């Protein structure tokens, strides 16, 4: 009888492991409306800003989308083919020592803008311990870059995986890092202009001006890896 009892337990354990496979959606996630933005095999669904495909600096290896800063030509941020307004984004990231990168959203790809950050607010990705840009609290991992510092510093060390969630609903913006809420604010409410006025973006006419846009993964010249990139419309 003991052997008969062990078999179902093993099946449950195996089923649980399968449910945690990277770059796949569980039945529950599919029911909740999640969609993969990265298939674990290709850069399909992404293109370098102002181009039609992802540049050679962005590669896929062992189920991981990564930027190789050793590649010198045709570099730049990659953006989603689609645009998003009200959404929840879930993504894992792993940054190198001294690394700096970001997830930029509400990006407008009009030709008048030559960089993603000119229009899109940024969820900062950083090696908080060793990166050069770690002197200001609102530049640390999990911050709304140069605007709101993370409520807590909960980043895992460089070389380890971190989990980020960005939720945007009718201007209400919430960030999580490794399960901890780091930022909560409202874009475009009465307090928003004052926040931007204290930042480097205060005179940037297009910054956070669009209520719908692309999501970008930043090429900041440091090695950065991503997996389990998924989104649902709200």
Q: In this model, does residue 131 exceed pLDDT 50?
A: yes
Tell me the CA distances in angstroms from 187 to 115, 145, 169, 219, 230, one per residue in order.
21, 14, 10, 25, 23
Beta strands in the chain (DSSP E): 35-36, 46-48, 58-61, 64-67, 78-80, 87-95, 100-107, 122-126, 162-169, 172-177, 180-186, 214-217, 224-233
Cα–Cα distance measured from residue 48 to residue 104, given in angstroms and rounded to the nearest whole number = 13
Are the C-beta atoms of 121 and 147 separated by less than 8 Å?
Answer: yes
Confidence grade of residue 73 (pLDDT, cut at 50, 70, 90)? confident
21 vs 143, residue with greater confidence: 143
**pLDDT tens, position by position, 90-107:** 999 999 999 999 999 999
Instruction: Give me the numbers of helices (H) and strands (E) for the chain, helices first please.
Output: 3, 13
Tell me the CA distances in angstroms from 100 to 69, 108, 181, 183, 221, one per residue in order.
12, 22, 21, 19, 8
Cα–Cα distance measured from residue 233 to residue 51, given in angstroms and rounded to the nearest whole number = 25
**CA-closest candidate to residue 136, choices 178, 198, 93:** 198
74 vs 65, residue with greater confidence: 65
**Mean pLDDT, all residues of the chain:** 93
Q: In this model, does residue 232 exceed pLDDT 70?
A: yes
User: Whole-prediction pTM value?
Assistant: 0.91
Residues shown for the chain? 234
Cα–Cα distance measured from residue 159 to residue 110, given in angstroms and rounded to the nearest whole number = 35
- pLDDT at position 231: 98
Tell me the CA distances in angstroms from 222 to 41, 46, 152, one per residue in order.
22, 19, 24
Angle at 152 between CA 209 and CA 156, to 5 degrees: 100
**pLDDT tens, position by position, 144-183:** 999 999 999 999 999 999 999 999 999 999 999 999 999 9
């Amino acid at each position: 009888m003991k052997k008969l009892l062990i078999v179902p337990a093993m099946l449950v354990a195996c089923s649980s492991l399968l449910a945690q496979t990277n770059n796949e959606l569980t039945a529950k996630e599919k029911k909740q409306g999640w969609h993969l933005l990265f298939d674990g095999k290709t850069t399909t669904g992404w293109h370098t800003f102002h181009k039609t495909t992802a540049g050679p600096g962005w590669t896929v290896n062992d189920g991981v989308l990564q930027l190789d800063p050793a590649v010198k030509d045709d570099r730049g941020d990659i953006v989603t083919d689609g645009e998003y307004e009200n959404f929840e984004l879930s993504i894992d990231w792993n940054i190198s020592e001294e690394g700096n990168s970001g997830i930029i959203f509400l990006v407008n790809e009009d030709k008048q803008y030559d960089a993603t950050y000119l229009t899109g607010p940024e969820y900062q990705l950083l090696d908080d311990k060793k990166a050069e840009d770690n002197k200001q609290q609102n530049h640390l991992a999990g911050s709304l870059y140069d605007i709101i510092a993370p409520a807590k510093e909960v980043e895992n060390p460089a070389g380890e995986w971190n989990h980020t969630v960005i939720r945007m609903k009718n201007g209400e913006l919430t960030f999580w890092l490794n399960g901890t809420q780091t930022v909560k604010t409202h874009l475009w409410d009465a307090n928003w202009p004052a926040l931007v006025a204290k930042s480097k973006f205060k005179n940037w006419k297009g910054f956070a001006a669009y209520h719908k846009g692309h999501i970008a993964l930043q090429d900041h010249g440091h090695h950065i890896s991503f997996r389990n990139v998924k989104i649902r419309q709200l």
